[in-house]
Amino acid sequence: MLRQVSVYAENKKGCFKQITGLLSDGGVNILGSVTNDSAEYGIVRLVVSDPEAALKVLTEAGFLCKLTSVLGIELPDEIGALDRLLTELYNSNISVDYLYLSFNRDSGRPIMILHTADTSQVENILVSRGFTAL
């Protein structure tokens, strides 16, 4: 299981750059991210090398942040891999709140970062069915 940093950020010029600059200055590497926005604010979801350090530098700079458990499921880099994962989740009656892509720097394989209602249970189910969780 991975820890994700969710950052609530104002939709204004330079905000995302400020976040990445703070993380860079804090020695935190961004491993995967997705941004969802609305008219005034957005949520930047990040899987990083050091979630606690990221939380510290961002909150000290005035950002509202929280840590959330997410799953990282390594997949083969081939046609249908994501569909097989989603089919397994669907067949197990598991709803996915959101997902985004990263990759395993050691193996070069894609990693789907996903959030579900019960990440521990879902991780156990997927691992028992042959998937690799990080």
At 106, is the pLDDT very low, low, confident or very high (cuts 50, 70, 90)? confident
β-sheet bridge partners, residue 69: 3
In the chain, what are the domain boundaries? 2-68, 70-133
Domain covering 70-133, topology: VC0802-like (3.30.2130)
According to the model, what pLDDT value does residue 41 have?
85
Does this chain's domain 2-68 share its CATH topology with 70-133? yes
Counting residues of the chain whose pLDDT is more than 90, the rounded percentage is 85
- What letters, b where the CB count within 10 A reaches 16 and e where it falls short, cover 3-39? ebbbbebeeeeebbebbeebbeebebebbbbbeeeee
- What whole-number distance in Å separates Cα of residue 47 and Cα of residue 134? 12
Query: Tens digit of pLDDT for each residue in 36-92?
Result: 877 778 899 999 999 999 999 999 999 999 999 999 999 999 999 999 999 999 999
Q: Give the pair of three-digit tokens for residue 56.
A: 């510290």
Q: H helices within 4-47, ranges in order?
A: 15-25
Question: 1-10, 30-39, 78-87, 95-104 — which is least confidently predicted?
Answer: 30-39
Q: Where are the beta strands (DSSP E) in the chain?
A: 2-10, 30-37, 41-48, 64-74, 96-103, 110-116, 132-133
According to the model, what pLDDT value does residue 40 have?
79
| CATH architecture entry for 2-68 | 2-Layer Sandwich (3.30)
pTM equals 0.88
User: Does residue 11 register a pLDDT over 90?
Assistant: no
